Amino acid sequence: MLYGCSSVGRVPVSKTEGRRFESCHPCNLKYKKIMAALIEFVKESYVELMTKVTWPTWKDLQSSSILVLVTSVIIALLIFVMDYTFGINSGDDVLWKGVLGFVYDLI
């Protein structure tokens, strides 16, 4: 008798399956292989991050952050100007309805 195996298998309910059955293993090896692969992946990722990755210097990090901040402000201002020009955020009490408001008033 094999240790950890059931002598009685899981028999399908359908009669069309015949006498085939799947044996019941309490500890399936497939899940152990998946866990071992996952643990190996985490270990290799840690080693790669600690030894093979070159991290930026503090000066490079500051200059990149400033560049991202300035670019974000410029894009936000550009979108604000486009919204104001086309009248996306306009209401009835606003003096400037934008280009779309002007076109809608003509129609």
Cα 42 from Cα 75, distance rounded (Å)? 38
Q: Give me the average pLDDT of each 10-residue run along the chain (107 residues).
A: 51 55 59 89 94 91 97 95 75 69 76
Asked whether the beta carbons of 99 and 81 are under 8 A apart, the reply is: no
Report domain extents, the chain: 55-107
Which pLDDT tens digit goes with each residue over 58-81? 999 999 999 999 999 999 999 988
Residues shown for the chain: 107
User: The whole model's pTM is what?
Assistant: 0.47
pLDDT at 1: 45
Which residues is 22 bridged to in the sheet? 10
Cα 90 from Cα 79, distance rounded (Å)? 15
